[in-house]
Amino acid sequence: MKTFCGRANPTTGALDWVEESEEYDFHQEIARSCYADMLHDHDRNEKYYQGIRAAVARVKARGEKVIILDIGTGTGLLSMMALTAGADFCYAVEVFKPMAKAAQCIVEKNGFSDRIKIINKHSTDVTVGPDGDMQMKANVLITELFDTELIGEGALPSYEHAHQNLVKEGCEAVPHRATVYAQLVESELLWSWAQMQPVEVKGARLVPPPAVGRCAGAHSVCDIQLSQVSPNSFTPLGPLCTMFSVDFSKPVSSALQSHSSQFVAQSGGRAQVVLSWWDLDMDPSGSIVCTMAPSWTYTQPKMAPWRDHWMQSVYFLPVERGVTEGEELSLTVCHDDYSLWYSLQSPSQQTPESQTKALSSRPCCTCQAHLVWTRPRFGELNDRRRTESYVSALRSVLREDSLCLSVSDGSLLPVFAHILGAKKVFGLENSRMSKQVIEQVLEANSIKGVELLEMRPDQLTRNDIGGEQISVLMAEPYFGTSLLPWHSLYFWYCRTALAGLMQPNATILPSSATLHMVAVEFQDLWRIRAPCGTCEGFDVTPMDEMVQQSLDFRESREAEPHPLWEYPCRALTQSKAIMTFDFTQCVPQEPVSSQGSLPFIRGGRCHGIALWMEYHLTHDISVSAGLIGPISEQGDCEWARHRKQGVYFFRQPWECSDDARVAVSYSFTFEPSLGDIKMDFSIKAL
């Protein structure tokens, strides 16, 4: 069945009507899932296998038949491990219908269909009895219900229901136990993702609104590859604390709970951030451990296993507070059935009333800024070097009689332009909430000369800007709807819509943008798109086939957005600007194409192409949303932290030796009517 769905085009701003199959969401969910990453996670798979073998052996030693309940079976891999380890029967529960179908194909292909029953339900809907989904209760519970925050996928309610209804008392569980760890740190880098910092502009100090400083921030966890945050970027204020453990072999509660850990501050500083991760003990003795600890906790960091389906968590305290070396502190973690949050107190302040307050004080944004600005956006606004580039560019183009219009979401550019002396400054905001956030900034700094307008560029009239013409049109450009780097070309469409309101010699800032590319070898990110074939001895090719069908379904040859600072890679070619977009002119009517080739200068395994935009504010000031420094002699890359780059993965990696005379041949076409960039790549001999 085909339907037409209205979707806002992130580049053109137009409402596009897209014909879609009812299966579209399923296909995209599969194509962009982390199943390949999990199947390639040998450490995870091996630890599960060891834990399952040990649990099956313990039940057999009691003279019992081994009946497995596998909740969240995915590909059925853990169920097949259980039968290989000697289990008698397995009930494998998978709520996602296409995945349940794939699991059915996989268990059949591996010869287990007579002893594995795939149940396409949520586990809380599964029934036990003669007419139920399960004929009997299980005595071994295997689960993979975890996310970066451990409980964010509903693990606790699922365990709670399973113990009440689906498994026998005293059952074995794999994993047996989870333990959550946390460390209190001071970090200017990480704290910049949570709070707006003061900004110096032309001798003036721009301060954040008081409501923003008092706000506890967004409630959601900040999950990142903490291994890529250098230990030099933070100062530990206390030891690594064991916050709480959950024994999955016993009844589990999803009720609101709190746990505290007391310690002595090992150094003084500003308590701002909590770094957190967890371990899984696969057996009761804790001898089989799967840890999420970042690589810098290892004596040999390169030995740390890589995974993207489970990362590490960063939590921001509701307010920063000073601590002194030797001070006694109490770190408290609270959790409901889906999320965690932290608070810091002195032990003397801990009372039943304070515990109740901690439980009820889950972070919730009250200032609106944390609803308008994402964490990377906070970091971008707090990036001093980036701010200096925009201020320098504005200073070079502004005059006393300048009438400025800013087109960016939740931007400080109108504030900068006013401080730098523009006669009139207007800012277009896409929503009432973002308008109100910038109004708070204006009020906190007693700025009266900036007028914010909540409307689209094509709605703006000369009356809205006092009957005058725009002399400076400016943008970062930043838009909350942008996913891929070139979606920010929405500014070009805004500039075109505003052409009739601008002076003939109006300044456009940025004046242009260039799309850049480099061929790369990823250290680990390639795993998320790599075929699996066999996994721990089991044939999982039906999963590969389903993913490939999903990739071919619609968005088969498109780039994906990824924050490459979290995913190390080596450049195998030089970087190259392959398309230029001239913002001083209106969007062209006809497609714009670019073809060429980029020679390999290093040997390696080329997994794909990294793509990003650079914005040329003036003839001598540019800002990169991709590479922010030269590529090293070994090919190492440093990427901008606050924007995602585009990654075009090849279906198969290309092997290239150091002395090979080959190049990446590329073809790009920008379709103005669609606001999209089509691309294709191949290898050719030189």
- Predicted local distance difference test score (pLDDT) of residue 554: 43
Question: Is the N-terminal amide bond of 347 cis, ω within 30° of 0?
Answer: no
| 8 A C-beta contact, residue 540 and residue 28 | no
How many CA atoms lie less than 13 Å away from 307 in the CB half-sphere?
23
Query: What ranges make up the beta strands (E) of 282-423?
Result: 289-291, 312-323, 328-335, 340-345, 403-407
- Predicted local distance difference test score (pLDDT) of residue 544: 76
| 8 A C-beta contact, residue 227 and residue 167 | no
| 8 A C-beta contact, residue 450 and residue 206 | no
Domains and CATH numbers, the chain: 35-174 (3.40.50.150), 178-364 (2.70.160.11), 383-509 (3.40.50.150), 512-523+568-685 (2.70.160.11)
Quick: pLDDT tens for 217-239: 988 899 999 999 999 999 999 99
CA distances from 149 to 71, 153, 222 (A): 18, 9, 9
How far is 544 from 213, CA to CA, in rounded Å? 48
Question: Is pLDDT above 80 for 436?
Answer: yes
- Predicted local distance difference test score (pLDDT) of residue 681: 95
CA distances from 28 to 285, 550, 555, 679 (A): 41, 6, 8, 20
| 8 A C-beta contact, residue 498 and residue 404 | no
Which two three-digit tokens encode residue 602? 């290093």
Q: Can you tell me whether residue 128 is helix, strand or coil?
A: strand
Of 604, 617, 600, nearest in space to 569 by CA: 604
* Identity at 74, one-letter amino acid code: G
Quick: pLDDT tens for 284-297: 999 999 999 999 99
Quick: pLDDT tens for 468-498: 999 999 999 999 999 999 999 999 999 999 9
- Predicted local distance difference test score (pLDDT) of residue 548: 64
**Whole-number percent of the chain with pLDDT over 70:** 94
Of 472, 630, 536, nearest in space to 85 by CA: 536
Quick: pLDDT tens for 105-131: 999 999 999 999 999 999 999 999 999
Q: CA angle, 364 as apex, 362 and 368 as ends, to 5°?
A: 170
Kindly give the residue spans of alpha helices, DSSP state H, lying in 89-154: 97-109
| 8 A C-beta contact, residue 233 and residue 379 | no
Residue 185: Cβ within 10 Å count? 22
Question: Is pLDDT above 60 for 1?
Answer: no
Estimate the crossing angle of helix 97-109 against helix 24-31, to 10 degrees: 60
Q: What is the mean pLDDT of residues 418-444?
A: 96
Q: Is 144 a catalytic residue?
A: yes
Q: CB-based contacts of 443: which residues, under 8 Å, 6+ apart?
A: 209
- Predicted local distance difference test score (pLDDT) of residue 555: 42
| Banded model confidence at residue 10, pLDDT cuts 50, 70, 90 | confident
- Predicted local distance difference test score (pLDDT) of residue 556: 47
DSSP per-residue letters across 40-71: T-HHHHHHHHHHHHHHHHHHHHTT---EEEEE
Q: Is 94 a catalytic residue?
A: no
Quick: pLDDT tens for 534-573: 998 999 988 777 766 655 544 446 899 999 999 999 999 9
Query: What ranges make up the beta strands (E) of 433-530?
Result: 450-454, 470-474, 502-509, 512-522
| 8 A C-beta contact, residue 486 and residue 579 | no
Cut 0.75: pTM above it: yes
Of 250, 302, 228, nearest in space to 141 by CA: 250
Q: Which is more confidently placed, 97 or 53?
A: 53
**Whole-number percent of the chain with pLDDT over 90:** 84
Which two three-digit tokens encode residue 409? 């979401």
Question: Torsions phi, psi of 35, nearest 5?
Answer: -60, -40
* Identity at 156, one-letter amino acid code: L
How far is 222 from 312, CA to CA, in rounded Å? 8
- Predicted local distance difference test score (pLDDT) of residue 547: 66
**At which residue do the structure tokens 């590490």 appear?**
312
Which two three-digit tokens encode residue 681? 């790549």
| 8 A C-beta contact, residue 541 and residue 109 | yes
Q: What is the mean pLDDT of residues 329-354?
A: 89
| Active-site residue, from 20, 46, 108, 153 | 153
Question: Is pLDDT above 70 for 20?
Answer: no
Residue 631: Cβ within 10 Å count? 18
Which two three-digit tokens encode residue 587? 């969007």
Quick: pLDDT tens for 496-526: 999 999 999 999 999 999 999 999 999 999 9
Weakest-pLDDT range from 76-80, 136-140, 335-339, 392-396: 335-339
| Banded model confidence at residue 24, pLDDT cuts 50, 70, 90 | very low
Q: What is the mean pLDDT of residues 594-615?
A: 97
Question: Is pLDDT above 60 for 446?
Answer: yes
Quick: pLDDT tens for 163-205: 999 999 999 999 999 999 999 999 999 999 999 999 999 888 9
CA distances from 641 to 188, 299, 379, 388, 567 (A): 14, 27, 8, 17, 11
* Identity at 424, one-letter amino acid code: K
- Predicted local distance difference test score (pLDDT) of residue 6: 54
Q: CB-based contacts of 463: which residues, under 8 Å, 6+ apart?
A: none
- Cβ-in-10-Å burial (0-12, 13-18, 19+) of 412 comes to buried
Quick: pLDDT tens for 301-319: 999 999 999 999 999 999 9
| 8 A C-beta contact, residue 475 and residue 510 | yes
| 8 A C-beta contact, residue 235 and residue 269 | yes
Quick: pLDDT tens for 26-57: 545 555 555 788 999 999 999 999 999 999 99
Q: CB-based contacts of 212: which residues, under 8 Å, 6+ apart?
A: 195, 196, 367, 369, 440
The order of strands in the sheet holding 67-71 is 116-119, 89-93, 67-71, 138-143, 167-174
Question: Is pLDDT above 90 for 326?
Answer: yes
Quick: pLDDT tens for 242-251: 999 999 999 9
Which two three-digit tokens encode residue 269? 């500083």
CA distances from 168 to 68, 119, 146 (A): 11, 19, 22
How many CA atoms lie less than 13 Å away from 553 in the CB half-sphere?
21
Q: Can you tell me whether residue 246 is helix, strand or coil?
A: strand
How far is 387 from 394, CA to CA, in rounded Å? 11
For the chain, the average pLDDT equals: 93
How far is 630 from 628, CA to CA, in rounded Å? 7
| Active-site residue, from 94, 144, 172, 614 | 144
Q: CB-based contacts of 114: which residues, under 8 Å, 6+ apart?
A: none
